[in-house]
């Protein structure tokens, strides 16, 4: 962008079509960075304090403010960006108000929660994590960005990378699970996929990683609750995924709603300045979560709205999401000198910087386009990416049990499809389904019907309601959509299902949670199948027909009973637009399942927090020696399904580990190799996982930690060598003084196909 153009932009003489010709390249080199900084400095010189404060306001399109008022506010220079609008004409009208009517002509930006898809919905994040397949996740992120950009969206509030080890938390569904390494890889992958080659590209959107920080560790899994955590655990386990997004170039960070050790993230200068900017070198924009500045009053750190605004801006919250704190309070705070102009300027600079990086100064209509190009039908089929969604979705499915090769099913005979979720397409979308539509989404039943055509007969019965807890229904009905309730007595529904099962060769029971049960503000006190679904499963088992349980849910469930009843059991999460078809691919063996659990499945809710990489304790749990050891006495302390677990329709063997060296210096590279063989009858993929344990260190280290993995495809009988390379970097951890270093001593190295079933070898760092 040349100087003349910048100038004409600032004084508002550039026509809309001229914007397109002035596209800037990313500020990747010193001269573009200089140009960006000079442009913003020049622009800020011409802004009044009120206009600056206006840039810090991010407003939701919704009931809070009617569209007409938003447009007026934008024209008056009092709004910097909006979120929740994906209608091109609406965004265009708002952008017109900004660049044609406001005095400064500063473009707006438009944000949205594009978490696992925009119009084509991919599996929920926990499902994406189950693929352990970075190519698949890249496809999901890229398609999401392309579709969102085509809807005029510039920024997404994603990826959501909160580590969570407590399945009671409803937002487990939005994250990538419990493991630092896996979540960090996914965090970087998703960020790159959203942002593409440049955040300034018309088909890219800027990623704002969330929720910074530690939101997944809320006490008791109760949403918005307190987080109290040791500095070592924070640095070692919970902070790396946010950093991974930032290292991958994420342009934004969303600040979490929770307090950390008593200090809310929103007023946490240590978090937002020392960690984020000083230690990690973050150069982008920070945005509060919804209404979070005002919530500083309820947190008990601000006595009123004025103090809340003051704390947030001083801590380093640049954009205020959907509350009036900055707009109403900052003018007086600056006037009284309690907040300096420089503090406001710092935030404004980041907001304008983000707009530059999103390519909006070069072309405010970069993603909105011209009215003539608007799609006649924004929900047109040809705007969807069904093939990509189906392929990613089937990779997300985890096979939990398969006795006597019950699966894959044959496309013949009579199949009973039973369960409250069997015909639900809205639940298939999962929470945060952006602009995805239930009517364009394939239910489990429809997917199976598509697959069998006229080769087999399908029978259906709902079997039971998703829950019979009236208080829970009333609560959940306030979110997204209402829970469908069949008015008949539950027992009548179970009886009907048993009858239908009796007429069939095999039963497929689609059970689990409604999507709003795994949602923001949807924490559970129990993890078993809700309502009468457990009774339904028992009744179906009693028919003696082979029973396949298909789970749809957004968190690990406690499935001890179901695991006993089922002949085969499949975890499908919420698979998105092509869910039913993807599920059918797996159930009929057109795709051999390869997903692996990204979260431990406990036996009971009492086991949570349940995670594989725990410390050993002084009295570790031993399955055959429970006396005065760390355990629960009512049932085994081990999980039902461990982290990294997932079966296939074939079998794999893993050889003993061969290490290149047993003693490693700090400059050495150590390789660990295993031979993995497909010993079964069909081709399949599996995930070979590498874990490490530091035997004795300056603080207690986890019993194992994932350090790497490879997903490989093997034909029947085929064998491949899988080699991992380790350097000193892989052995580092935060010691009690928070120094990140590797300590000399013995290590155990483990390789296997889940976190429990591993081969072991030993080496030492000298
Ligand atoms: C959620 C965020 C989300 C925001 C905007 C909040 O309630 O916590 O994750 O990005 O709303 O929709």
Cα dihedral across residues 140, 143, 145, 151: positive or negative: negative
Sign (positive/negative) of CA torsion 640, 642, 643, 649?
negative
Pairing mode of beta strands 670-678, 658-659: antiparallel
Q: Find the CATH number of the domain harbouring 540.
A: 3.40.50.1700
What CATH number is given to the structural domain containing 669? 2.60.40.10
pLDDT of residue 17 exceeding 50: no
Assess contact for 701 and 691: CB atoms under 8 A.
no
The CA dihedral of 523, 445, 126, 555, to the nearest 10 degrees, is 30
398 contacts: CB under 8 Å, gap ≥ 6: 130, 570, 571, 593, 595, 596, 597, 645, 646
DSSP state of 666: T
Task: Examine the residue annotation and report whether 505 is marked as an active-site residue of this protein.
Answer: no
Q: What is the mean pLDDT of residues 32-57?
A: 97
Q: Which atom of ligand 1 is nearest to the CA of 158?
A: 10
Q: Rg of the Cα trace of the chain? A: 27
Place of tokens 């640049």: 318
Instruction: Note whether 402 and 362 are same-domain residues.
Output: no
Structure confidence by residue, pLDDT tens digits, 312-322 = 999 999 999 98
Whether 513 is in the pocket of ligand 1, judged by its Cβ within 6 Å, is no
Q: Which atom of ligand 1 is nearest to the CA of 84?
A: 12
Q: What is the pLDDT of residues 451-509, one digit of tens each?
A: 999 999 999 999 999 999 999 999 999 887 788 899 999 999 999 999 999 999 999 99
Q: Considering all CA atoms of the chain, what is the largest pairwise distance in Å, rounded to the nearest integer? A: 81
Residue 674 CA, chain-centre distance (Å), reads 32
Could you tell me if residue 539 is inside a domain?
A: yes
Query: Pick the catalytic residue: 113, 166, 289, 391?
Result: 289
Give Cα separations from 693 to 509, 661, 702, 731 (angstroms): 40, 17, 7, 9
Atom 2 of ligand 1, residue of closest alpha carbon:
289
State which of 205, 289, 294 you would mutate to test the pocket of ligand 1, scoring each by most atoms of that ligand within 8 A of its C-beta. Answer: 289
- Residue 174 CA: which ligand 1 atom is closest? 9
Q: In the structure, what pLDDT confidence band is assigned to residue 30 with cuts at 50, 70 and 90?
A: confident
Tell me the per-residue pLDDT of 54-72, one tens digit each, with 9 for 90 and over.
999 999 988 778 888 999 9
Question: Which of 586, 607, 628 is the last residue before a domain boundary?
Answer: 607
Mutation choice for ligand 1 from 125, 157, 213, 225, CB with most ligand atoms inside 8 A:
157
Identify whether 255 is part of a domain: yes
Indicate whether 373 belongs to any domain: no
User: Which of 64, 148, 290, 523 has the most ligand 1 atoms within 8 A of CB, as the residue to mutate?
Assistant: 290
Choice from 64, 85, 113, 255 to test ligand 1 binding pocket (greatest atom count within 8 A of CB):
113
Do 358 and 400 belong together in one domain? no
Q: How confident is the model at residue 763 (pLDDT cuts 50, 70, 90)?
A: very high
- Give 370 Cα–ligand 1 centroid separation in angstroms: 30
Is the pLDDT at 118 greater than 50? The verdict is yes
87/15 same-domain check: yes
The answer to whether residue 302 scores a pLDDT higher than 60 is yes
Does residue 68 sit within a domain?
A: yes
Q: Residue 85 domain-assigned?
A: yes
The answer to the question of residue 148 being in a domain is: no
**Residue 236 alpha carbon to ligand 1 centre in Å:** 26
Q: Can you tell me the mean pLDDT for 575-603?
A: 98
Is any ligand 1 atom within 6 A of the Cβ of residue 179?
Answer: no
> From the CB of 730, is ligand 1 less than 6 Å away?
no
Ligand 1 touching residue 277 (CB < 6 A):
no
Pocket test for ligand 1, best of 170, 264, 520, 522 (most atoms within 8 A of CB): 520
Does the CB atom of residue 520 touch ligand 1 within 6 A? yes
Contact 187, 209 (CB under 8 A): yes
Return the axis-axis angle of helices 134-150 and 180-195, rounded to nearest 10°.
40
Give the Cα separation of 556 and 598 in Å (integer).
Answer: 10
Shared domain for 581 and 656, answered yes or no, is no
176 C-alpha to center of ligand 1: Å? 17
**CB of 323 closer than 6 angstroms to any ligand 1 atom:** no
Does a structural domain hold residue 228?
Answer: yes
Relative to the CA of 157, which ligand 1 atom is closest? 10
> What is the distance in A from the centroid of ligand 1 to the CA of 526?
25
- The response to whether residue 291 sits with its C-beta less than 6 Å from ligand 1 reads no
User: Would the CB of 142 count as within 6 Å of ligand 1?
Assistant: no
Residue 584 domain-assigned (yes or no): yes
Q: How far is the CA of 114 from the centre of ligand 1 (A)?
A: 11
**Span 139-166, average pLDDT:** 98
Q: Whose CA is closest to atom 4 on ligand 1?
A: 290
Sign, CA dihedral 419-425-428-430, equals negative
pLDDT at position 22: 32
340 shares its domain with 260: yes
DSSP string, 270-325: IIIIIIIIIIT---SEEE--TTTTTHHHHHTS-SSHHHHHHHHHHHT--BEES-SH
**This prediction's pTM:** 0.96
Mean pLDDT, range 141-170, rounded to an integer = 98
DSSP designation for 710: E
Q: Are residues 481 and 332 in the same domain?
A: no
pLDDT at 4: 34
Of the pLDDT bands very low, low, confident and very high (cuts 50, 70, 90), residue 627 is confident
Q: Residue range 560-574: average pLDDT?
A: 98
Nearest CA, atom 11, ligand 1: 290
- Assess whether the C-beta atom of 519 lies below 6 angstroms from ligand 1: no
- For residue 10, give the CATH number of its domain: 3.20.20.300
Rounded to the nearest angstrom, the distance between the alpha carbon of 324 and the centre of ligand 1 is 17
CA-to-CA distance for 463 and 48, rounded, in angstroms?
A: 64
Could you tell me if 593 and 510 lie in one domain? Answer: yes
Top pLDDT among 30 and 187 is at 187
157 Cβ inside 6 Å of ligand 1: yes
Does 658 share its domain with 592?
no
CB 599 within 8 A of CB 612: no
Residue in 128, 18, 62, 672 with CA at minimum distance from that of residue 366: 18
Enclosing domain of residue 705: 652-765
Helix 341-357 and helix 325-335, axial crossing angle in degrees, nearest 10: 140
The confidence score (pLDDT) of residue 332 equals: 98
* Mean predicted confidence (pLDDT) in 581-600: 98
For the chain, how many residues are written? Answer: 766
pLDDT for 754 equals 98
What CA–CA distances, in Å, run from 607 to 168, 190, 400, 634?
11, 31, 19, 11
pLDDT of residue 9: 38
Which residue is closest in CA terms to ligand 1's atom 6?
A: 290
Mean pLDDT of 574-590: 99
pLDDT band at 164 (very low <50, low <70, confident <90, very high): very high
Contact in structure between 435 and 114 (CB atoms under 8 Å): no
Residues 359 and 231 in one domain: yes
Q: What percent of the chain is predicted at pLDDT more than 90?
A: 93
Number of H helices, E strands in the chain: 23, 27
Is the shortest distance between the CB of 290 and ligand 1 below 6 Å?
A: yes
At how many degrees (to 10) do helices 30-45 and 341-357 cross?
130
The predicted structure's pLDDT at residue 3: 35
User: Is the pLDDT assigned to residue 652 strictly greater than 80?
Assistant: yes
Residue 321 CA to ligand 1 centre (angstroms): 9
Is the CB of 350 within 6 Å of ligand 1? no
Domain total of the chain: 3
**What is the end-to-end Cα distance of the chain in Å, rounded?**
55
- Give the mean pLDDT of 329-347: 98
Is pLDDT above 60 for 139?
Answer: yes
Question: Given this model, what pLDDT does residue 25 score?
Answer: 37
Q: Locate 454 and state its tokens.
A: 């006229």
Ligand 1: which residue has its CA nearest to atom 8? 289
Bridge partners, 625 (sequence order): 622
In this structure, the answer to whether residues 333 and 469 fall within a common structural domain is no
Same domain, 350 and 415: no
524 and 661: one domain? no
Contact 212, 254 (CB under 8 A): yes
Ligand 1 near 210 CB (within 6 A) = yes
Distance of alpha carbon 331 from alpha carbon 341, whole angstroms: 10
Token pair in block for residue 656:
């003993």
Given this model, what pLDDT does residue 479 score? 80
228 C-alpha to ligand 1 centroid (Å): 22
Whole-number average pLDDT of the chain: 95
Chosen domain end from 607, 633, 662: 607
Spacing, Cα 123 to ligand 1 middle (Å): 19
Q: What are phi and psi of 246, to 5 degrees?
A: -70, -40
Give me ligand 1 centre to Cα 286, in Å.
14
Strand partners, 674: 722
Cβ proximity of 246 and 258 under 8 Å: no
Span from the CA of 126 to the centroid of ligand 1 (angstroms): 18
Percentages helix, strand, coil for the chain, rounded to the nearest 5?
35, 20, 45
Name the least confident of 91-100, 167-176, 478-487, 537-546. Answer: 478-487
The Cα 742–Cα 733 span in angstroms is 6
* pLDDT (0 to 100) of residue 626: 75
Work out the percent of the chain whose per-residue pLDDT is above 70.
96
Out of 348, 366, 384, a domain closes at: 366
């Amino acid at each position: 962008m040349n100087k003349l153009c910048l100038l004409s932009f600032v004084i508002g003489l550039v026509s809309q079509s001229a914007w397109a010709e002035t596209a800037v390249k990313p500020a990747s080199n010193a001269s573009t960075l200089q140009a960006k900084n000079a442009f913003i400095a020049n622009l800020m010189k011409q802004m009044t304090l009120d206009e600056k404060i206006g840039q810090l306001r991010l407003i939701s399109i919704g009931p809070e403010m009617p569209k007409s008022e938003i447009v007026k506010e934008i024209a008056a220079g009092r709004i910097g960006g909006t979120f929740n609008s994906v209608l091109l004409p609406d965004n265009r009208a708002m952008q017109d108000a900004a660049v044609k009517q406001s005095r400064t002509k500063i473009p707006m930006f438009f944000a949205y929660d594009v978490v696992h898809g925009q119009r084509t919905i991919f599996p929920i994040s926990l499902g994406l994590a189950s693929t352990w397949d970075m190519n698949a996740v890249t496809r999901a992120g890229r398609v999401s960005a392309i579709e969102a950009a085509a809807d005029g969206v510039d920024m997404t509030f994603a990826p959501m990378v909160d580590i969570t080890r407590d399945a009671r938390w409803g937002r487990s569904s939005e994250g990538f699970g419990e493991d630092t390494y896996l979540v960090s890889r996914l965090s970087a992958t998703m960020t790159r996929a959203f942002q593409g080659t440049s955040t300034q590209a018309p088909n890219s959107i800027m990623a704002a990683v969330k929720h910074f920080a530690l939101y997944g560790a809320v006490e008791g899994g109760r949403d918005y609750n307190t987080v109290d955590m040791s500095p070592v655990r924070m640095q070692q386990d919970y902070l790396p995924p946010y950093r991974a997004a930032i290292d991958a170039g994420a342009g934004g960070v969303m600040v979490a709603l929770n307090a950390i050790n008593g200090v809310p993230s929103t007023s946490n200068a240590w978090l937002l300045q020392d960690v984020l900017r000083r230690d990690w070198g973050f150069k982008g924009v920070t945005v509060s979560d919804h209404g979070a500045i005002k919530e500083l009053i309820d947190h008990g750190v601000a006595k009123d709205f004025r103090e809340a605004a003051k704390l947030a801006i001083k801590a380093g919250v640049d954009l205020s999401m959907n509350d009036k704190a900055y707009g109403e309070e900052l003018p007086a705070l600056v006037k009284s000198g309690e907040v300096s102009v420089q503090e406001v300027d710092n935030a404004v600079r980041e907001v304008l910087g983000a707009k530059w990086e999103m390519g909006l100064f070069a072309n405010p209509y970069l993603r909105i386009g011209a009215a003539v190009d608007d799609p006649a039908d924004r929900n047109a089929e040809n705007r969807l990416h069904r093939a990509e969604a189906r392929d990613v979705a089937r990779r997300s499915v985890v096979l939990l049990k398969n006795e006597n090769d019950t699966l894959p099913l044959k496309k013949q005979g009579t199949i009973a499809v039973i369960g409250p979720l069997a015909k639900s397409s809205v639940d298939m979308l999962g929470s945060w389904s952006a602009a995805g539509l239930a009517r364009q989404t394939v239910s489990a039943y429809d997917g199976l019907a598509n697959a069998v055509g006229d080769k087999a007969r399908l029978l259906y019965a709902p079997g039971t309601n998703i829950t019979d807890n009236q208080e829970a229904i009333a609560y959940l009905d306030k979110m997204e959509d209402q829970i469908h309730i069949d008015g008949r007595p539950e027992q009548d529904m179970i009886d009907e299902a048993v009858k239908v099962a009796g007429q069939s060769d095999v039963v497929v029971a689609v059970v689990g949670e409604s999507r709003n049960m795994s949602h923001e503000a949807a924490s559970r006190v129990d993890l078993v199948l809700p309502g009468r679904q457990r009774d339904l499963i028992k009744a179906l088992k009693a028919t003696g027909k082979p029973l396949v349980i298909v789970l749809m849910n957004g968190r690990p469930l406690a499935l001890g009973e179901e695991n006993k009843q089922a002949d085969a059991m499949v975890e499908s999460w919420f698979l998105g637009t092509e869910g039913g078809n993807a599920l059918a691919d797996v159930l009929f063996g057109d795709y051999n399942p390869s997903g692996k659990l990204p979260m431990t499945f406990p036996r009971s809710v009492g086991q949570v927090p349940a995670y594989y990489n725990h410390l050993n304790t002084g009295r570790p749990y031993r399955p055959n020696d429970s006396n005065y050891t760390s355990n629960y006495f009512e049932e085994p302390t081990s999980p039902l399904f461990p982290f990294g677990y997932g079966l296939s329709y074939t079998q794999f063997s893993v050889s003993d580990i061969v290490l290149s060296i047993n003693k490693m210096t700090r400059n050495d590279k150590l390789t660990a190799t295993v031979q993995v063989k497909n010993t079964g009858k069909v081709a399949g993929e599996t995930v070979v996982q590498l874990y490490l344990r530091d035997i004795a260190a300056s603080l207690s280290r986890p019993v194992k930690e994932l350090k790497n993995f490879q997903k490989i495809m093997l034909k029947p009988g085929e064998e491949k060598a899988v080699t991992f390379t380790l350097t000193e970097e892989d052995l580092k951890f935060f010691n009690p003084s928070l120094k990140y270093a590797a300590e000399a001593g013995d290590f155990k190295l483990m390789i296997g196909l889940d976190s429990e079933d591993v081969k072991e070898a030993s080496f030492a760092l000298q």
